[in-house]
Every structure is written in C-alpha cells, then in structure tokens.
Copies of this chain bind each other. A is one copy, B any other.
C-alpha cells in the first residue's frame, strides 16, 4: 500500500535540484521501500518562476527547465505565482523549503514556513534560518495545526542527527554534544595539517567549490554557530540567540599553531559545543586542539561529525557528509518520508 504525498517545492537551486534528481532516478524504488510516493504538485523559485499541476510535475521535466533557468513552458507556469502565492493556492500535504539561508532575519523562508504551517501543511526544510531563529514558535505552530516541522538537513545535510535522537535516543538524556559542523573549515584545517598556509588551503577549497567567493560565513564560524543554536533548541530544549553563543572561526590559526599542536599529539578542529550546566545550557563555537584519540580528531576533509555524551549510552558518535547536492536533497527526502508515514497512520 502506497500513500501519496503532495508536495510543493520552494526554491529550486542546488538542494531542490538534488531532491528532484533523487525522485527522477529512484522515485519508484523509494515508493516500494518506504510506502510513500512523493508527487511534486507545485514549484516556485525566485529566479525561475513557478509551475504547478494537481496530477504532479515530472522531476525530469523540472530539472531540464531548471537548467535553462526558467520554468516557462511547464504546466501552470503562466500563473507566475510567487512562493507565498503558491503555498497558499496550490493544495498540498507538505512544503519543502530549500531557499537560501539568512541567519539574520530568516527571511523569506520564515514567512514561507509560517504560511504553510498555518494552513496545516507539514514543512521540511534544509534552510537554517527558520530553525535557528524560531524553532520553538514553529514547533508550536505545527502542533496547533496538526502538521510536522522537520529540519534534519539543517545540521549535517542527510546525515541523521535530529531523527536519530528523536527516534533512537528518546529514553536517554544528552549531557553534551560536540560537533564538526562545517565541512569547508574542516577541509581547510585538514589541508593546513598536511602543510599548507591558510590562504593556500582556502584557495583550494574555493577551487573545489567547497568555499564561496566570500567565505566569511564559513571561516568565521557563523554557519557552525547557526547549527549549534538549532541543536540546542531541537535536542536540549533551549532557545539561544547568536549573542548567547560565543563564536570564533579559524582565520587566526597559523601553521605555527598547528605545528605546535602536532608536537603535543593534538590536531586543530573547529568545534561546536552544546552542554548542560548546573543552570541551563551553554553553547559555543571555536577552534580546539583535540588529542588524537578524541572521536572528532580523525574526521578529515569535508566530513562532519557529532559526538554525544549521554547518561545511558555514554559516548556515541555519528560521522557522515555535511554537504553536497544529493546528500542534502536526501535530507528533504528523508523528512518527507517521515511526514508521509505520520499521515498514513
């Protein structure tokens, strides 16, 4: 028995296209394995316009149109709806939000999420803005409207963290988590460890597409800081603002410092920490020289990892990709499958 989930996709950049590629290449297998069939009934993108069809749009057709930069010619494209119009007017069970992250205001994603949840549509998103700025509000809004708000892809792309804790660690209690939450900075540190300067390593990261032309969001730690705020809210019930999370990046780490650490049997990593204390939860992001037997010390290149310290299991570590088109598209898919399974009950 297959349940059909009607989904609108808001934002058709790298991540949205990653989801569409998976649906194009293995949609049938996903149906068969999970019992959830995902039908894209509408799509809106700031640059490409919109398309819609109650019977479903073909992922292959959407991808071909996205390569041309415009949805013109696709079913319903003549309506030219903006994202909010599409969310409100196209009947759907869920909305996948994959626009660009804005950690200052959360917009426009925050408005998209609020609009969908208010209509009782579940939301899955890879956009860090809404989850970092308003998780408490959005979860309450979802609960009031009997919808789900899922955001696995905001932390380590498709590598399961939030779902892992909610499903498998529900009876345990996390005392501390420490994570390598940004692949760009971990790639740069891994290269510097092998003997390059910061500038050389950054240039290589940019050449390979791991770092943007303006790398500030990564190298100054703000991306990791947003993820730390999400983890504190999602897993340790504590709403923190950026001002409450001290944040230092990797721009001041010199080859000398790395060599000194190596001489002491240590390795620099940019570590995000969330920890229960006597009076609440504290969080931070900053470089740390870790002993080589630390579970995070061996995580190299663009891989990400989180080490949990819990009451019952002790130490638990998850290591996986933290970025990538298909990997992040998969996060949307995994959350949509969860929404479908909840609706099927």
Contact = CB atoms under 8 A, between A and B. Distances in A.
> How many copies, total?
2
A67 interface: no
Contact of A160 (B33, B169, B319): B169
Interface in A276-319: 293, 295, 298, 300, 303, 311-319
Interface string A308-338: 0001111111111100101100100110011
A334 B168 contact: yes
A160 B164 CA distance: 8
Contacts of A168: 152, 160, 163-164, 167, 334
Contacts of A327: 312-314
B315 A317 contact: no
B326 A170 contact: no
A270 B234 CA distance: 37
A264 interface: no
A171 interface: yes
B338 A167 contact: yes
Interface string A146-164: 0000001000001110011
Question: What size tier do the contact residues of chain A reach?
Answer: 35 or more
Interface of A: 22, 26, 29-30, 33-34, 152, 158-160, 163-164, 167-173, 293, 295, 298, 300, 303, 311-321, 324, 326-327, 330, 333-334, 337-338, 345
A102 B311 CA distance: 30
B316 A317 contact: no
Contacts of A320: 313-317
B170 A163 contact: no
A112 to B, nearest CB: 23
B313 A158 contact: yes
Question: Which residue among A300, A303, A315, A317 has the maximum number of chain B CB atoms within 10 Å of its CB?
Answer: A317
Question: Which residue among A152, A164, A173, A316 has the maximum number of chain B CB atoms within 10 Å of its CB?
Answer: A316
A171 B334 contact: yes
Question: Which residue among A293, A300, A303, A318 has the maximum number of chain B CB atoms within 10 Å of its CB?
Answer: A318
Contacts of A171: 22, 30, 33-34, 330, 333-334, 337
Question: Which residue among A26, A167, A345 has the maximum number of chain B CB atoms within 10 Å of its CB?
Answer: A167
B295 A300 contact: no
Contact of A29 (B163, B164, B173, B313): B173
A138 B174 CA distance: 33
B163 A167 contact: yes
Nearest to A292: B298
The 8 nearest A-B residue pairs measured at CB = A160-B168, A317-B319, A316-B320, A312-B330, A163-B168, A167-B167, A171-B333, A345-B345
A317 B314 contact: no
A338 B44 CA distance: 37
B330 A172 contact: yes
Nearest to A160: B168
